[in-house]
């Protein structure tokens, strides 16, 4: 039981679980906001895995304290990497959401099937024009 619930299994298992949950959202959902959120969940899982890679049992956080006795410290590099990765994820997510808002405004849908049909329709075809009208004249303003 202890074996199974060791901190390592919890961290790595949790990370893998987050990745799989996020992947489910990405592959099985049609709504693009959900898909984007799925990507965010995957990133969280990957970040967790990265941090877990620097774990050492009983080690301190990598901040030196002149008063404290210097013991082993955890690896500071993954922590820095994760900081960077989080910010990158935020930036991409924000850009994706902006695009999604704009698309929704123009076409009135974020359904991936409908959007694929629009983007693959030959220019000027009835399909693309119909979708434009449905979205209303919002984007001329």
Partner 1 sequence: MIPSLDLLLALAFGNLGLMLLAGRNPTAGLLSMILYALQGWVLVMLMPALAEGAASGLAFQVFGWSLSWELNGLGWFFAIITVGAAFFSAWFAAGAWGVQGTRSPWAFHVTLAANVAAMLLLLASRDLLTLFIGWELVTWAGYAMMIQSGGPATRAAYKYLIYGVAGGLAVLAAVVLIQVQAGGLGFAAVAAWMPGISTGMLWALMLLLGVGFGIKMAFLPFHRWQAEAYGESPGPAAAFLGAISSRMGLFGLLILLVHFIGLARLDELLLPLIGLDARILWMWLSALTIIIPTFIALKQNDARMLLAWHGIGQGGYMLLGVLVGSELGVAGGLLHVFNYATYQAVLFLVMGAVVYRTGTAHLDRLGGLITRMPLSYVAMLFAIIGLAGLPPMNGFVSKWMVYKALLDEGLPLLFVAAVIGTLGTILSVFKLIHNVFLGQLRVEHEQIREVPFSMWGPMIALSLIVFITGYMPGLALDLVMVAQTSLGFAALDYHLGGFVTDTGNLNMLAVVSVLLLGMGIGAGIFLLGGNKSKRVHQLDNYAGGHFLTTEVRYHYSHHFYAGLLRLIGPWYITLIKRLEGGIAALTDTLAAGSDGLYRTAYTPILMLAATVLGLALVL
Partner 2 sequence: MNPEILIALPLLAAFLLPAARRIDASVGIWWGPLVVLANLVIAAMAWWKVQLIGPQSIALGGFAAPLGIELRADHLGLSAAVLLNLAVLLLWPRETPDKARVSTILLVLTGAGCGLAMSADLFNLYVFFELVAVATYGLAAANGKGEALIASLRYLILGALGSALALLGIALVYAKTGTLNLTELGGMSEALSGPAGIGALVLMVVGFGVKAELFPLNNWVPEVYAHTESRVSALMAGIISKLGILVLLRLIAEVFGGSPGLEFLLWVGVLGVVTGELAAYGAKDMRRVLAYSSIGQMGLVAVALALGGETGFIAALILMLNHLLVKPALFLIADAWPGSLKALAGKGRARPLGAVLFVLLALSLIGVPPLPGFWGKYLLLDAIFTNVTEGAGLLVGLILAATVVEAAYFFRIAARLFGSGEAAEESKIPGLPAVAALFVIAFLALSVQTGRVGDYLKEVVHGLQPQELRMAQSDFPDPAASVNGKGERL
Partner 3 sequence: MRQFASLLFLFGFAFFLSVLVGGLPFGAAPMQVGQAIVEQNIEATGAANAVTGVLLAFRGMDTLGELTILFVAATAAGMVVERRKHGVSRDSVAGFILLAGAELMFPFLLILGAYVILHGHLTPGGGFQGGAILAAAFFVPFLANPGRAFQGHAMAFVEAFAGATFILLGIFSIFREGDFMAPMFLGTGEFGQLVSAGSLPLLYLALGLKVGAELGSLVAEIAAAPGSDDPLIEEPQAAKDL
Binding site for partner 2 (CB under 8 A): 19, 22, 26, 32, 35-36, 39, 42-43, 46, 49-50, 52-53, 75, 77-78, 81, 84-85, 88-89, 91-93, 95-96, 99-100, 102-103, 106-107, 112, 115-116, 118-120, 122-123, 128, 132, 135, 139
The site map against partner 3 for 90-129 (x = CB under 8 A) is xxx-xx-xxxxxx-xx--xxxx-xx---------------
Q: Kindly state whether residue 116 participates in binding partner 1, applying the rule CB under 8 A.
A: yes
**Nearest CA to 8 among 49, 44, 45, 62?**
49
Give the whole-angstrom CA distance, residue 107 versus residue 114.
Answer: 9
Residue 134, binding choice from partner 2, partner 1, partner 3, none, Cβ under 5 to 8 Å by partner class: none
Q: What character string, x for contact with partner 1 (CB under 8 A) and - otherwise, covers 14-53? A: ---------x--xx--x----x------------------
Contact range with partner 1 by CB under 8 A, out of 54-62, 89-97, 116-124, 128-136: 116-124
Contacts 24+ apart (CB under 8 A), 127-135: 131/107, 132/106, 132/107, 134/107, 134/108, 135/105, 135/106, 135/107, 135/108
The token pair that represents 71 in the structure block: 């013991």
* Helices 32-53 and 112-120: angle between axes, nearest 10 degrees: 110
For residue 76, what are its two tokens?
């500071």
Burial class from Cβ neighbours inside 10 Å (0-12, 13-18, 19+) for residue 47 reads buried
Q: Which of residues 58-77 bind partner 3 (CB under 8 A)?
A: 61-66, 73-77
């Amino acid at each position: 039981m202890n074996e199974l619930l060791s901190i390592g299994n919890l961290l790595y298992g949790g990370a893998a679980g987050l990745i799989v949950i996020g992947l489910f959202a990405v592959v099985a959902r049609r709504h693009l906001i959900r898909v984007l959120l799925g990507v965010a969940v995957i990133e969280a899982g990957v970040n967790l895995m990265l941090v877990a890679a620097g774990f050492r049992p009983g080690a301190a956080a990598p901040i030196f304290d002149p008063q404290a006795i210097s013991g082993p410290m955890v690896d500071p590099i993954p922590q820095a990497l994760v900081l960077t990765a989080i910010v990158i994820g935020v930036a991409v997510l924000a850009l994706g959401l902006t695009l999604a808002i704009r698309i929704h405004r123009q076409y009135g849908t974020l359904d991936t099937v409908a959007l694929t049909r629009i983007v693959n329709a030959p220019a000027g075809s009835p399909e693309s024009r119909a979708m434009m009208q449905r979205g209303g004249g919002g984007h001329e303003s």
